[in-house]
Amino acid sequence: MIKTLQIGGLSFEVRRSDRRKTLGLTVGRAGELVAHAPAMTSTEELSRWINNKLLWVHGKLALKEEAAPKMLAPEYVSGESFCYLGRRFRLKMVERQKEPLLFDGTRFLLLRGACPAGDHFRNWYIQTGTDWLRRRTERLSQLAGSHASGVDVRELGYRWGSCGRKGILYFNWKILQLPVRLVDYVVLHELVHLRERNHGLAFWEALERALPDCQERKKVLAEKAKEYLVFGLSV
């Protein structure tokens, strides 16, 4: 399991390496925070060093937030569209139905008065998408050469996915808004992490063997994902 540190209200992923000689920090495109450290660096020393860098970190996060395109909150009105696996489906407001939110295969049906409906959509994505993601992960595991012991769909903040202990893979429910080819990239990314925990050369070589166009999909995910996200990733 990848270790994290909670410092100053922020979560830092810790990546250690025998080859690294100095401490370092990176702020990813989505605001993810990664602390790089030599293998023998103590947690206490790393925590003190990160704490002294918090002003710099907050400055970087502020710049990213300022530059990020602003996503409008859903209005939950008839005709508004929501994505599931890259396909857009219209919303229709209804006066009566047993559940707050239903999907009839062609459109979402939302009970008037059930707004704001963010929780209802989240629950729908999790309930509907979990079985699909489990089947998809099992299918793609043959390409990755590794098998997850379980798949869990939940809120993951700014992460698309995470490789947990005991071989369990966690996926952000918001990933289910994306086209299948981008979901496949995230799934294979985490499957490869079952064997290669860090983002070193061995990891990227293994991912490219499983998915030859992984770099192109990674780029599209970073640049185009927002076009499908009514419910975005939170930092």
Residue 162 belongs to domain with CATH number: 3.30.2010.10
The answer as to whether 189 is a domain residue is yes
Low-confidence ranges of the chain (pLDDT < 70): 1-2, 29-30, 65-72, 234-235
146 shares its domain with 206: yes
96 shares its domain with 185: yes
The answer as to whether 76 is a domain residue is no
Cis before residue 179, ω within 30 degrees of 0?
Answer: no
* Residue 27 DSSP SS3: strand
Name the phi and psi angles at 225, rounded to 5: -55, -35
Q: Is the pTM of this model over 0.85?
A: no
The answer as to whether 145 is a domain residue is yes
The answer as to whether 59 is a domain residue is yes
85 shares its domain with 153: yes
95 shares its domain with 174: yes
Name the phi and psi angles at 6, rounded to 5: -100, 110
**Number of compact structural domains in the chain:** 2
Q: What is the pLDDT of residue 13?
A: 86
Euclidean distance between the first and final Cα of the chain, in Å?
A: 21
115 shares its domain with 180: yes
207 shares its domain with 145: yes
Digit-coded pLDDT (tens) for 181-199: 999 999 999 999 999 888 8
86 shares its domain with 33: no
